[in-house]
Amino acid sequence: MTQRQDGSDRDRPLGKVYLVGAGPGDPGLFTLKGRDLLDQADVVIYDALVSAPILAMVNPRAELIAAGKRRGYHSLKQPEITALLIEQAQCHRTIVRLKGGDPFVFGRGGEEMAGLVAAGIEVEVVPGITAGVAVPAYAGIPVTHREYSSSVTFVTGHEAAGKYRPDVDWRAIARGSETIVIYMGIHNLSNIVNALMGASLAADTPVALIRWGTRPEQETLVATLGTVLDEMIATGFAAPAIAVIGQVVNLRSQLADGCPALAIPEWTGAAVGTSSSPRAPKEGTPIVRME
Query: Catalytic amino acids?
Result: 47, 69, 184
Of the pair 15, 127, the CB lying nearest ligand SAM is at: 127
CA atoms of 260 and 283, how far apart (whole Å): 24
Minimum CB–partner distance for residue 54 and ligand SAM (Å): 11
Q: Which stretch binds ligand SAM (CB under 6 A): 8-16, 54-62, 128-136, 189-197?
A: 128-136
Dihedral, 291, 200, 243, 249 alpha carbons, nearest 10: 30
Q: Which stretch binds ligand SAM (CB under 6 A): 53-61, 141-149, 237-245, 272-280?
A: 237-245
Instruction: Yes or no: say if 281 and 268 are a contact pair by the CB < 8 Å rule.
Output: yes
Q: CA 68, 70, 75: angle at the middle one, nearest 5?
A: 35
Position among 131, 139, 189, 225 found at the interface with ligand SAM (CB under 6 A): 131
- Would you give the binding string for ligand SAM spanning residues 44-63, x where CB under 6 A is met? -----x--------------
DSSP letter at 205?
A: -
Of the pair 114, 202, the CB lying nearest ligand SAM is at: 114
Minimum CB–partner distance for residue 262 and ligand SAM (Å): 12
Q: How far apart, in Å, are the Cα atoms of 24 and each of 36, 95, 121, 132, 281?
A: 18, 21, 28, 9, 25
**Count of residues in contact with ligand SAM, rule CB under 6 A:** 25
Position among 193, 240, 248, 252 found at the interface with ligand SAM (CB under 6 A): 240
Q: How far apart, in Å, are the Cα atoms of 69 and each of 99, 107, 213, 261?
A: 10, 10, 18, 29
Instruction: Yes or no: say if 253 and 143 are a contact pair by the CB < 8 Å rule.
Output: no
Position among 15, 17, 20, 24 found at the interface with ligand SAM (CB under 6 A): 24
Of the pair 240, 246, the CB lying nearest ligand SAM is at: 240
Position among 25, 115, 140, 142 found at the interface with ligand SAM (CB under 6 A): 25
Minimum CB–partner distance for residue 120 and ligand SAM (Å): 26
CA atoms of 268 and 253, how far apart (whole Å): 14
- Would you give the binding string for ligand SAM spanning residues 175-214, x where CB under 6 A is met? --------xx-------------------------xxxxx
Beta-sheet strands, E only, within the chain: 16-21, 43-47, 63-68, 94-99, 122-126, 152-156, 179-183, 206-211, 219-224, 241-245
Beta strand 179-183 with 94-99: parallel, antiparallel or unpaired? unpaired
Where on the chain is the footprint of ligand SAM (CB under 6 A)? 24-25, 49, 99-102, 105-107, 130-131, 135, 183-184, 210-215, 239-242
